[in-house]
Chain A
Amino acid sequence: MIRCVALRKTYGSVVAVNDLDLEIETGEVFGFLGPNGAGKTTTIRMMVGILAPTSGTVVLGGYDIREAPEAAKAQTGYVPDQPALYDKLTGVEFLRFMGGLYGVEREELEVRGADLLEEFGLLERAHELIETYSHGMKQRLTVAAALIHRPKILILDEPMVGMDPQGGLALRRLLTGLAASGVTIFLSTHSLGVAEELCDRIAILDAGRLVAIGSLHELRERAAERPELEPFDSSLEAVFLSLTGTSGGQV
């Protein structure tokens, strides 16, 4: 459902993403991990078509994002790392606007919008300007907007940041449910607990390079081959620190 082939992005002499190859199956929840500045957000921006790659391709649902951007984007929902929205629109107006851009019919838009607003706890404040929302509320509204057109692929960049525990739990449940219904989920997160709980497979990116990919079990096995890792410590955090070459002592 998602395929990145030799995806590369350079800024002058800096290589932000270095020949990344990924293949993600339909209905899979795919975790995308990496330390700060690893190139996760750059990768995601190239995947959703808001940043042109230096080279390589991204194929979403069979459509190349550069050759058929509208078709690729039509089946994708995107949640950016920062919930930047139109402050002077209300929550419900923003959902209508987004649904309209994806071509959702008006009647369905009203029903679907109300459902999503309720699901994300925003119904009571749906007619308030977005500028009055908290960070967490904006984040929830962004997720709701990404789902308004029932996408086949959902790409989320750090969606849990700024969400309260209830919001985080609701989102985790939602993602599990979506995956069960066949939606492919690409999730970039710093929360290793979330990745451990939700993801079928995990990729770890470091300095623009893919350093590991596989199920949690496979990653543990790979990490166990590293002599510096304590044999009893098989948490994803230990695996992550081992594979990205950082230890808890470093800041």
Chain B
Amino acid sequence: MRRASPPHADAAPRPPGLRVLLAPRVLAARNALRRGRAKAAVLMLVTALFWVGSFVFFERTVSYFQTITALGPVLTQRLLVMLFVSFFAVLVISNVVTALTTFYLAADVRLLLAAPIPPRRIHQARFVETLVASSWMVLLFGLPAFLAYGVVYRAGVLFYVGTIATLLPFLVIPAAIGVLVTTALVLAFPARRARDVLVVATVALAAVGYLALRLLRPERLASPSEFAGFAAFLAAFEAPASPYLPSTWAAEVLTALLGARPGAPLFYLALLVTTAAVLYLASAAVVERLMLSAWSRAQEGRTHARRAPLLGRLLPRLTAPLPRVPRLLLIKDVMVFFRDASQWSQLLLLGALVVVYVYNFSVLPIDDGTPLAATLRDVVAFCNLGLAAFVTASVAVRFVYPSISLEGRVWWVLRSTPVPLGTLWWSKFLVAFLPLAILGETLIVVTNRFLGVDPGLTAVFMATLLFVIAAIVSLGLAFGAAYPRFDTANAAQIATGFGGVIYMVSCLGLIAGVIALEAWPVARLFWRRIDAAPLAPIETALVAAAFVVALLVAAGVAALAQRSALRSLATLQP
């Protein structure tokens, strides 16, 4: 009998091809598509609609710019530069965040490192994964814009070929930068800290960008005289067109190919391609030499929680008046929240949102001295009640709705201890209700002050909002318990799920209902001021009854949602 020859342990096997290494992602995407065909169809339809809408928008804008004889060509070119600058900034941030996961935090990196795969091949596979994951969104947004340019300028085939040839190196450059920055970050900090640094930096950037955009007062563009000034400003805006930025090179290639003005497209394309090649090779060399050391660092975590953090000292004192269990749960929830950068950093965005909200009311042009101004102010004040409730609901969907899911696999701790479900519910309710009530009431008080609303009416709005917020929080816990997601610890991902969407819709329904119920009594109170006549006793009773009914509706929703939450919590199984 012939014996099978023993395997040669010392013979190095042929390294797996890129296809093998990318297969898990490709197969997972294919399986997801196969299992959710309806979802994929809806997604494709929405994408198609977005593309059409986006194309129409850019086609109109570029066409309009062309009609402005003096500034037209410059504006078109500047718009292209600004598009590329925005894409480049988004791509760099997105690639850094993605590369951190694909190269250092993903669970399968361990498998790749343990397998007989050369580091260069690992770099190639992870680079492609990072590039695709970070760039598809930009392509989704960008392609209709480039297409619109081609259509408006009646560009030939060369423009479209040139666009593809430009986009490829343009996407590779931020991906390579992302890999290099991530590796440096992981070498400097343990990966969990690096992730925290990235999360906070990204959210802070978004908040600053949002603030900057609002404080530029884009509403001025609605005025023709202001727009002319803005257009001139845009045309003279030199900063983004730095000759050292890949975004400028990409815009130069396309501007020349469009025939907007003469240029040297081949030179700029060569700049893009060579820069992309150099950066790609640099990232390969760095990863090849340092990936193992960086990955080893990535296994470390922040070890020491500061022994006596300010919060740890303050919280027990601040919560001393509360009963034992709600107090413990509140302290636990707050500590966990402030130790998780992906959670507390959202407060930066929330801060920006509040500043912009209040700022909007401070610059509202409604106090122009006309007799209509007072009425307009009252109408805005009433709408403000709905808006403040809407802002609170938006915050709740991000913080309250995921709170049950975030207990996740630790749910056993709360359920196996002798704490009644009702107490757990009240604790979760209080933890969410108190900050949201402070937020909502502050918004109402400050903005009504800007609007000069009557203090009595402000008090009515404050009482209404308090009940509405209680209902919003209670609904958040009910929907959170009914649609729990234990597959992710990412609160933003939980909030954008199916349950989060119907929760938001329910909140909007509640707000609309309460506003509708209060519309008549509020209008009656406004008219009374205009007529300068007191309300008849029966009218006063009706106005009071309408307010009470609105409050009762909100309280009823809160109570029903509480019952529903308790039922769901009793059967919750992470």
**Contacts from A to B (Cβ < 8 Å):** 48-52, 69-74, 76, 78, 80, 82, 84-86, 88-90, 93, 97-98, 100-103, 125, 127-129, 131-132
CA distance A80 to B411 in the complex (A): 11
Asked if B30 is at the interface of the complex by the 8 Å CB criterion, the answer is no
Q: Roughly how many angstroms separate A85 CA and B301 CA in the complex, as a whole number? A: 16
Query: Can you offer 13 A-B residue contacts whose CB atoms are under 8 A?
Result: A50-B415, A73-B416, A73-B418, A76-B416, A78-B416, A84-B412, A85-B410, A88-B340, A97-B331, A97-B332, A102-B418, A103-B324, A132-B302
B416 near A93 with CB under 8 A, answer no
- A125 CA / B302 CA spacing, docked (Å): 12
Shortest CB-to-CB span from B496 to chain A, Å, is: 23
Q: A70-B420, A78-B416 are in contact. Are A84 and B328 (CB under 8 A)?
A: no
Pick the contact of B418: A71, A82, A86, A89 (CB < 8 A): A71
Report the bound CA distance from A52 to B415 in whole Å.
11
How far does the alpha carbon of A128 sit from the alpha carbon of B306 in the complex, in Å?
9
A52 touches B324 (CB 8 A): no
**Is B418 within 8 A of A50, CB to CB?**
no
- Partner-A contacts on B (CB < 8 A): 192, 301-305, 307, 324-325, 328, 331-332, 335-336, 339-340, 408-420, 570-571, 573-574
B321 to chain A, nearest CB (A): 16
Are B410 and A84 interface neighbours, CB within 8 A? Answer: yes
- In Å, the complex CA distance between A97 and B307 comes to 16
User: Which of A48, A78, A80, A132 neighbours the largest number of chain B CB atoms within 10 Å of its CB?
Assistant: A132
Tell me if A70 and B418 are in contact (CB < 8 A): yes
Closest-CB distance, A145 to chain B (whole angstroms): 8
- In the complex, are the beta carbons of A50 and B335 less than 8 A apart? no
In the complex with contacts A90-B305, A100-B328, A129-B303, A69-B412 CB distance below 8 A: no
Neighbour of A128 across the interface among B304, B409, B418, CB < 8 A: B304
Distance between B453 CB and nearest chain A CB, rounded to angstroms = 42
**Residue in B closest to A82 when the chains form the complex, CB atoms:** B409
Listed residue (A88, A101, A128) with the most chain B CB atoms within 10 angstroms of its CB: A101
Enumerate chain A residues within 8 angstroms of B410, measured Cβ to Cβ. Answer: 84-86
A51 lies within 8 A of B332 (CB): no
> If A101-B325, A129-B339 touch, does A89 touch B302 (CB 8 Å cutoff)?
no
A88 to B192, CA, bound (A): 12
Whether A49 contacts B571 in the complex (CB less than 8 A), given A97-B332, A100-B324, A129-B303, comes out as no
Docked Cα-Cα span, A93 to B417, in Å, equals 16
Which chain B residues border A52 with CB–CB below 8 Å?
Answer: 570-571
Are the CB atoms of B303 and A74 closer together than 8 Å?
no
Q: Known contacts A88-B340, A89-B332: does B305 contact A50 (CB below 8 Å)?
A: no
Q: Do B418 and A74 touch across chains, with their CB atoms under 8 A apart?
A: yes
Which of B331, B413, B415 is the one whose CB lies under 8 Å from A98?
A: B413
Complex CA gap A52/B339 in Å reads 34
A44 to chain B, nearest CB (A): 10
Q: How far apart are the CA atoms of A127 and B302 in the complex, in Å? A: 12
Question: Does B303 contact A128, Cβ atoms closer than 8 Å?
Answer: yes
Q: How far is the CA of A127 from the CA of B309 in the complex (A)?
A: 12
Question: Which residues on the B side are within 8 Å of A50 (C-beta)?
Answer: 411-412, 415-416, 573
- Shortest A239–chain B CB gap in Å is 32
Across the interface, B335 reaches (CB within 8 A) one of A85, A93, A127, namely A93
Q: Is the beta-carbon distance between A69 and B418 smaller than 8 angstroms?
A: yes
Closest B residue to A71 by CB, please name it.
B418
Known A102-B418, A129-B301; judge A84-B408 contact (CB<8 A): yes
